[in-house]
Every structure is written in C-alpha cells, then in structure tokens.
Amino acid sequence: MEARCCFLIFICALSWNINDTVCAQGNYQTTTTNFIIMAPDPNLSREAGRLAEQYRRELSKQWLGYEIANWKEKCPVQIQLGPHPGGETSFAFMEGQKSEPMGWQMKVFGPPDRVLDAVLPHEITHTIFATHFGQPLPRWADEGACTTVEHESERKKNHQMLMNFLNAKPSRGIPFNRMFTMKRYPHDILPLYAQGYSLAKFLIAQKGHVHFVKFIEQGLEQENRSALPKPTAAWDQATEQFYGYQDLSDLQIAWIDWVRKGSLTQSPLNTLAAVGNPPTTQPSQGSKPTENQLSDRRLATGSPAMAGNVLEHSGSWYSQQSPSEAASNPQANSMGNHFVRQAESFLPGSTSLSTATSGTFEDASQTSIWR
C-alpha cells in the first residue's frame, strides 16, 4: 500500500555508480544513483545494487514507454535473508493531490536468489508506478502488475492460489465491481494478489504493458473527476474504451472464461530481454546463481488441467446463471460467503451486488505496499 506525502524527480544520465561501505551490525552498504542497498553479504549488496538500477531502468521502459528520471532522494533497501520471499515498500504522497513520492523505504527478504529475481523487481515496480502516477492505485492493479515481473516460481504459486480460491466453497473470489474500486487492502489479502495478478496478465497479453498503464490512468482520471452515481462507472467506461468490453461485468465473464480454459497466453507477458545476468560472485551463503526471469520463456503458468473444476460447482459466485437457472437452483440461493450474493442479485454478466456487505479494510494511508 502507500503512505502519503511528496517530492520531485529529475532526469539524469543513464550511468550509475556503486560505492561500497561496511555498516554497523554486520551489514554491507552499496550506494548507487537511486538506491542505498544494505545486506549481510558484500556480494549480495553489490549485485542487488546493480540489478536494482537495471530493473528500474528497464521496467520503467517496459511499463511506461520511457525511463523515469533519477530520484532526488535515494531509496534505502534493507535485505534480510530467510526461507520465505517477501517485501515491503513505503513512500508518501501529498494528501489531496497528485504528487511525486518521497520518504522511500524498502525491505526485501527471502533466499538470495528470490530476493534478486522476484522480490526486488516486484518492489521496484511499485516505485515506478508511484513515480509515474503520483497517487495510490487500485490495489488489484498495483499488486497484480508487480507480480507479473516476479520469478516464474512465484507466479506459479499465485496461479495455484487463484485456483484454490475460486474453487473454494464458498468462493473467495472478489467481484470486479468491488475489486476495481479498492484503494485499501482487504483483510483476506491473498485472493486480491492472486486475482489481481491473473487479471493483469489477461489484459497485458491482449494489448501490452503501456496500454495497460494508460487504461489505469484513464480509469483513475475519470474516477477522480466523476460525479456519476455508480461507483464503477469510470472503470466501466475505461474498460470499454481500452479493451472493448462493455463494462466490468463483461470483462469479468471474459476473464473467467480465460481462467477456465487454462489462463494461456500466446505472446510473452514480459517483452524484455533478460534484464540481468547471473552474478559472477556468489553470496557467502552459497545460494544458486540468480536467474532473472523478466523475459519469461514460458508464460503459461496455468493450464486446462490446473484450471480443474473452476466454476463447476454452484457454490461459486462466479457461476453465471440465467434467471431461469437461478430459479431452479436453490443451492445458489443459500451460499454463505459475504462475497456471494443470491442468484437473482448476480445475473449473467452482472457485477451489481445489491446486497453487498461492506468489507473492513486496512487504511492505505497508514500502511505500506507489501507482497
């Protein structure tokens, strides 16, 4: 998530310098143009610094079509080694207006290879979006897009989680008319990550990264200025304008059908050549060389077999029913999940949840973006 406040960014040369120092508590510090890397191993610190600058440069070109300017304020990155990959990035915007971020703080943790090829590009993509948009994004778009640049092993985990969530009885899926307006993380956060990743992958596979970013820009702009009574009207319009779906309901149906068929893509999700090379020196912990997977050779993290019984059971809110089918299916009227509505309130293609229960979410202004 994001905190709030602001600052300014300037264009500088593409070259970047590395300076190494030894810090207290056994940490080694590497300073580059935009980052201050602190890690328990000097080789890991230097490699993270090299890749951080390279990810920042190449990923901004991939998502935005241009390289973002060097920050006036360097981003501190604290690396902690451990068995499970994860990260957290906090920054601030000026409240009440679009602004450039300040107060960067990034923490990444996990085994060295996943720190370098999954967590680091994920968290740096957050900083790229924060710099470009200057305001909080819908949580699904921010986390979903950032997950697409992770190592394939992490993307597969998200896909498998999605299958589990959608096939749960009752389903833990999030209707699009709720998901698109979320600026805060729900307490049940993992479905948001898995579903956001899947939808981002679905949209990017159709028209690319830059088009996806312009879609989010347009939705936010219309949302910010919209006086329309329907909360999702801005996103309905942007969805039709950028992807040709009539509204979020139409998009949801198309996405579900794609998931059911295995979430396969015909073209690479990431069009970059490999951003980094395996490090020539290894961290002293003896980890394997990192393999930067930004140019995924195989993006079909799903398959018809993995899709399994998605949408097959009537207990899922994703089951699209005609009025006659709904009337003849009493089980669909007794689903006990607050994400699930009676069939007559969720007709074919509908994301109108007239009896929706408002969820309790963490306040984005008080927490950080985390994965």
The predicted-structure confidence for 351-363, as pLDDT tens digits, reads as follows 222 222 322 223 3
Residue extents of the structural domains in the chain? 1-136, 139-283+291-352
In this prediction, residue 18 carries a pLDDT of: 54
128 pLDDT tier (thresholds 50, 70, 90): very high
pLDDT at 94: 75
Residue 178 confidence (pLDDT): 93
Provide mean pLDDT across the span 34-42.
96
Cβ atoms < 10 Å from Cβ of 8: 12
Give the model's pLDDT for residue 249. Answer: 95
Q: Using 50, 70 and 90 to split pLDDT, how confident is the model at 7?
A: very low
pLDDT for 135:
87
Task: Say yes or no to pLDDT of 308 above 80.
Answer: no
Contact 175, 338 (CB under 8 A): no
Q: What is the pTM of this model?
A: 0.72
Q: What is the pLDDT of residue 310?
A: 46
Integer CA distances (angstroms), 357 to 98, 100, 175, 178, 257, in order: 31, 35, 12, 11, 26
pLDDT at position 53 over 90 = yes
The reported pLDDT for the residue numbered 336 is: 25
Share of the chain above pLDDT 90, in %: 54
Mean pLDDT over residues 51-56, rounded? 98
